[in-house]
Amino acid sequence: MTQIQNDDTGTIGVIGLGNMGLGMARTLLRDGCAVTGFDLSVERQADAARDGVTIVASQQELFNACETIILSLPTARHVTSVLIGDDGLASCDLGPRLIIDTTTSEPDVTRELDAKLREIGHVLVDAPVSGGPAGANSGQLTMMVGGDDAAFAKAMPVLSVLGGKITHVGPVGAGHAVKIINNMLVATHLLTMREAVELGKAAGVDTNHLITALNAGSGRSAISEVNYPKWVLNGQFDSGFTMGLMRKDMRLAMALASQKDLTLPVSALAGQIWHQSAEMLADDMDFNRITELNANTKTDKAGE
Ligand code: NAD
């Protein structure tokens, strides 16, 4: 693990101490950083305090105390409110701050926020992540980073503590575009893997044998290699990523395609199935539960 020189970064702030944010805070603490945190939820504050995070009573207190601020929030709306809403960072009279937004957010919103913050001297990089709570807790996240070269270099000491694989994918907003595309694939692969298992069963093949063989073949994906063995086949469904967040990501991918006038028929059908799953699978359920939907019924419905 890369040790951060605390003289360089000072106390690191984390806003949003949920499944991902708290994992990242723990990783930074283990690396020897001082970490200050803020979350609207009292339970999340208590969990973080137990793990050694210094909890402050307001986001302004955190902005004052930290020159580097990591965001791990549900949506672009939450990020906008924290950065430029009432009592947001932009309303505080402060020296330059480095904002690392790990939220799965919206490229256009990120670019607008960057322009506003840049005018008052702050630096924003979008660094959304893949790897779930396990990756956040172990400092092995995959990070797709958007920002100019100087911003990326400035963020790198912190990113390298949090991430195992870090790719600078382009200017600000590019990280969020790549993350949305990644999750469009994950959401679609879950549906195609569900159909593969169903077809395997119908053909009389044992599901464990099917998956072992697929994982040695070219049809494999993270879904066949990780999700099915770890969360689906054993009925655990405890990945730490929810239906609500994955539906958000599919919605963002479909919105991005439509904004760019692109027709993506396969992904669009997957998007419809995810959208309609809200009738059966609540927002707080594990996202792998999509594999439990009746494939035939939903496919017919989605085509209506
Ligand atoms: P989560 O719901 O567990 O955590 C979000 C936290 O933000 C909550 O504790 C909530 O109280 C807090 N919050 C909301 N608004 C706030 C505000 N204004 N100020 C302070 N705190 C606020 O979500 P998560 O699973 O940790 O995901 C966080 C982000 O990371 C999402 O954008 C998600 O799409 C993305 N992501 C999640 C995973 C995963 O496996 N969970 C993986 C990759 C990316």
Q: How far is the CA of 81 from the centre of ligand 1 (A)?
A: 14
> Of the residues 26, 40, 55, 283, which should be mutated to test ligand 1's pocket, given the most ligand atoms within 8 Å of the CB?
40
The tokens for 4 are 């951060």
Distance CA 172, CA 155 (A): 13
Reported as a pLDDT band with limits 50, 70 and 90, residue 8 is low
Residue range 249-273: mean pLDDT, rounded = 97
What per-residue string of b and e applies to 37-51 under the rule 16 or more CB within 10 Å gives b?
Answer: bbbeeeebbebbeeb
Percent of the chain with pLDDT over 90: 93
Cα separation of 89 and 87, whole Å? 7
Residue 301 has pLDDT above 80, yes or no: no
* C-alpha of residue 103 to centroid of ligand 1, in Å: 7
Q: How far apart are CA 59 and CA 76, in angstroms?
A: 17
Residue 241 CA to ligand 1 center (angstroms) comes to 10
The model's confidence at residue 4, banded by pLDDT at 50, 70 and 90, is: low
Q: If we measure between CA atoms, which residue out of 281, 279, 301 comes closest to residue 291?
A: 281
What band does 10 get if pLDDT is binned at 50, 70 and 90? confident
- Give tens-digit pLDDT for 80-104: 999 999 999 999 999 999 999 999 9
Q: Is 179 considered catalytic here? A: yes
Residue nearest to atom 13 of ligand 1 (CA): 16
Q: Whose CA is nearest to atom 20 of ligand 1?
A: 39
Q: Which of 15, 51, 59, 72 to mutate to test the pocket of ligand 1 (most atoms within 8 A of CB)?
A: 72
> Residue 155: pLDDT above 60?
yes
Structure confidence at residue 294 (pLDDT): 75
Which residue, by CA, sits nearest to atom 7 of ligand 1?
16
Q: Which is the catalytic residue, given 154, 179, 248, 298? A: 179
